[in-house]
């Protein structure tokens, strides 16, 4: 396997790759959270539209306001939607 191709696909030094706007799901009222259309569909199936909508708003607000969130901006945010993660738990509380 060519290492240069693998590093391009995986992002710099094997991190999460940055996604082009054409590979990004169009989610109403969500501008910063990045998910692929396939990921967005699987999250709707897993959590339902209402809970996922609240979770997206929680994550969007955190990405906008938190200085610690700077490293997650511009990258795919699918990993934040674990069933035992803080984003889903926060959405369930609200």
Domain boundaries along the sequence of the chain: 16-93
Average pLDDT rounded to a whole number, residues 15-42: 81
Taking the model in full, what pTM does it have? 0.76
pLDDT band at 1 (very low <50, low <70, confident <90, very high): very low
Helices vs strands, H then E, count in the chain = 4, 0
Higher pLDDT, 6 or 66: 66
Q: Token pair 């590979």 is at which residue?
A: 23
Alpha helices in the chain (DSSP H): 3-10, 37-47, 49-65, 86-93
CA atoms within 13 A on the CB side of 10: 9
| pLDDT, mean of residues 25-41 | 91
**Residue 49, pLDDT above cutoff 90:** yes
Q: What does the pLDDT read at residue 21?
A: 54
Residues forming a β-bridge with 34: 76
User: For residue 58, what pLDDT is reported?
Assistant: 96
Radius of gyration, CA atoms only, the chain: 14
């Amino acid at each position: 396997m060519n290492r240069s191709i693998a590093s391009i696909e995986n992002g710099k030094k094997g991190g999460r790759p940055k996604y082009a706007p054409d590979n990004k799901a169009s989610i109403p009222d969500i501008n910063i959270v990045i998910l692929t259309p396939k990921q967005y569909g699987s999250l709707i199936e897993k959590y339902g539209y209402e809970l996922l909508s609240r979770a997206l708003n929680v994550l969007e607000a955190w990405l906008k306001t938190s200085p610690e969130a700077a490293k997650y901006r511009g990258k795919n945010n699918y990993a934040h939607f674990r069933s035992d993660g803080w984003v889903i738990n926060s959405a369930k509380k609200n």
